Structure 1
Amino acid sequence: MTMHVPAFSMKQRITLMANKYELFATNPDGSDGPLLAFAQQKRMAFKEEVTFYTDDTKTQVVFSFKARKRLDLGSGYDVFDPEGRPIGWFKKEFGKSLLRSSWQLGSGEIQSNGTERNATIAIVRRVWEFVPFVGDIPLPFIFHFDFKDLTTGELVLAVERKVSVRDRYRITAPDPRLDFRVAAAMTVALDALQSR
């Protein structure tokens, strides 16, 4: 059964051993509503796996995503429900991502492509990463991704990174066929895996 959430936000908590993410429903006035999920991604893990829980006590799993192959991140990631059944997938398109990051996203009937909205910011971000010494200084570039249905061209998912001390994102998912769990997994992946 699809769990659709039309708008939510994500905040990152930085810790020494893991990236931690909180996902909140968005209230009608645009403010953060109730916590939908808490995610943790271990740093330096060989096989990328992120598990989402109901909260930071990590007692109840809500969903997860995992790399298909151990050292081949280009093979893609699968998103699973709490029982381990696949509910969607995503994959970075490395060839298309040289100048402007591009991803594929699938969930149920949806097949979509997502690219960075602003090509100029995408290029500046890449140049910044390659400048000696300067590239080591983290700079919170704003980036936005739009995922569009391959058949209709309609917007399926929009992920917008906001300027703040810690990473913060606003997400809209206008297509009711897109499962929140797949949209949330893709959002965390954009933050955790974008530079790889």
Structure 2
Amino acid sequence: MTTRNFLIKQRFAAMVNRYEIWSVDAHWQPTTMLGFAQQKRMKMREEVVFYTDDSKNTVLFTFKARNVLDIRSVVDVYDGAGQAIGEFRKDFAASLLNSTWLIDQAGQPQVKGQEKSAVYAIIRRFTDFGFIPYDFVFSVGERPVMEIVRKWGLRDTYQVTVTAEEYDTRLLQAVAVGLDALQNR
């Protein structure tokens, strides 16, 4: 089984969400920057652009919600040339008690992700504490595809373990950033 781990660190910035995506060593220490993502706040449609680095000269891929401020909106992921990679969305009904996300990539089975801890899911649902950690497990049936663990701390940091090599890493990176950017909407 192939594992492709990466780390997402949110940068502090006014009026935008910024994220660094890093490859990691066996101890989760950042080794090489894989990309830099930026989301402008207060946009009518959620959109995040992923670049090669923080110079923002080269676009790697993007994600953009299909609808305006819709909690049920599908989020499309495109490569740097504008070709579709896949999509993800929150399953609103299933998310009332335990946040549930679905990932679709052409030619692959649909991936379903849920919070591992129902207790944390309920606490997060009924409080306004933004620092509560979470652990999402994404799978196809019983087969794991990806796990996203939000670590405790002032700065949002996510450890992402990918165990299914047939899914496009760009799509999975978009989902990991999307959880931070879209989870509480």
- Cα deviation for residue 6 of structure 1 reads 0.9
2:101 aligned with 1:106, yes or no? no
TM-score, structure 1 length as denominator? 0.89
Which amino acid in structure 2 is aligned with residue 177 of structure 1? E
What is the aligned partner in structure 2 of residue 67 from structure 1? 65
Deviates most, 71-80 or 166-175:
71-80
- Cα deviation for residue 116 of structure 1 reads 0.5
- Cα deviation for residue 31 of structure 1 reads 1.6
- Cα deviation for residue 105 of structure 1 reads 0.6
Deviation track 1:35-77 (CA, whole Å, cap 9, x = no partner) reads: 0010001011111110000011100000000001223341310
Where do 1:137-176 residues align within 5 Å? 138-150=129-141, 153-176=142-165
- Cα deviation for residue 29 of structure 1 reads 4.0
Q: Provide closer, same or farther for how the CA distance between residues 46 and 141 of structure 1 changes in structure 2, counting only shifts above 3 A.
A: same
Deviates most, 67-76 or 16-25:
67-76
Structure 2 distance, partners of 1:71, 1:165, is 27
- Cα deviation for residue 180 of structure 1 reads 1.1
What is the aligned partner in structure 2 of residue 33 from structure 1? 31
Q: Secondary structure at the match of 1:121?
A: helix
What is the aligned partner in structure 1 of residue 81 from structure 2? 83
Residues 147 and 157 of structure 1 are in contact (CA less than 8 Å); yes or no, is this contact kept in structure 2? yes
Deviates most, 106-115 or 141-150:
106-115
Deviates most, 68-77 or 8-17:
68-77
- Cα deviation for residue 30 of structure 1 reads 2.9
Q: Provide closer, same or farther for how the CA distance between residues 166 and 29 of structure 1 changes in structure 2, counting only shifts above 3 A.
A: closer
- 5+ residue gaps in structure 1? 130-137
Deviation track 1:74-128 (CA, whole Å, cap 9, x = no partner) reads: 1310110110000111000111111110010112314111001000011111121
- Overall identity of the aligned pairs, in %: 41
After superposing on structure 2, the runs of 4+ consecutive aligned residues of structure 1 that deviate more than 4 Å are: none
- 5+ residue gaps in structure 2? none
Residues 67 and 73 of structure 1 are in contact (CA less than 8 Å); yes or no, is this contact kept in structure 2? no
Structure 2 distance, partners of 1:57, 1:95, is 40
Q: How many residues align?
A: 183
